Structure 1
Amino acid sequence: MRRLIANGFVLVIATLCFGCTSYSSQPTINEPVEPATQEIISSFSYAIHSPWKDSRFGKDAYAATLKIIPDAQDTGSSLAALTLLPLEIKISEFSSGGACGQDYLTGLSLGLIPSWCTRTNLFKFDFILNKDQHFCRQKTYSINSMSFSHLTMIPFALFNTDNQPLTLYQAALKDFLRIGQCATR
């Protein structure tokens, strides 16, 4: 009976401390008004730097990359990658560092005291485009998160099950691959 009460108490506290998290990118990802033509990519290299050995985000982002540019081959791990590839993708995934200090206050008050916390640079997406063996353009997207914790956030936390960082990665890659002029270094 004690175990049932203890499990129920833990469930109530966990439910009361739920929050809502929103993500933003720097620079802002432009959503196209009309379908834009996309750069033709024949091969790419993909690298992820993560504190976790088998990052689920890294695997999902790789699968999303293959869907966005289905005709391209990943040649980043082969010896043929000594030449400049048309597209180089580098993803950095950083640890969030745990709960913010103010989140503990919300937990101790059983969700009555609201808190919010901003975590900067949780993800970085670095894209480099090369054309005709020359540098064309480069863009780095930095993803930040802002989380809100309060008793009233329970419905938002329960129904917010999207993988927003993955959605932002897909939008950033599509934004970068729109045809544009090449820049000079």
Structure 2
Amino acid sequence: MPLNLPIILTWLRVALIPIIVGIFYLPESILPLHLQNLLGAVVFALAAVTDWFDGFLARRWNQTSSFGAFLDPVADKLMVAAALILLVELARAPSWLAVIIIGREITISALREWMAQIGKSKSVAVATIGKFKTTAQMIAILLLLWWDPIIPGIKTSIIGLVALYIAGVLTIVSMFYYLRVAAEQFRENR
């Protein structure tokens, strides 16, 4: 396993997952809810920044590796799944929408693994629609963790929920995009 700064940042993202979740399980006598929201959102934002930064550095410094290519999406999916489950537990996100988003992540991960086995992994590389989906997800989760108004009268809870529904729609659209690409490859290989 190569150990460089991009991989360390990816491992940091994995390590931040239990911290994000744990913040919301602290008793309010230790950490009041509004500080749980703030701290949880800040730690999630830090994790989300490492998601962008590790890939940027790996490409910039030519430190890409097959292990990093494996670990990065696993860390992303763990972070999103944990945050969505937490938001459902906190009654800030609908469970059915979390199931759709997490289910898509599992489906596309399995699809990518299968495509790699038949030598067609490049055909299901991350597409622009997937990047939009990820951006909407990260914004939604961040705002739903924050929960408290940023500016009086502007409810992050409403904006976050709208962003989560947008992420849900993009989740479904991107899943069908990847499945269609895979189906074309499957037909060519038959």
- TM-score, normalised to structure 1's length? 0.28
Larger Rg: 1
- TM-score, normalised to structure 2's length? 0.28
Per residue, is there more strand in 1 or in 2? 1
Per residue, is there more helix in 1 or in 2? 2
Q: Which structure ranks higher in relative contact order (CA pairs < 8 Å, sequence separation ≥ 6)?
A: 1
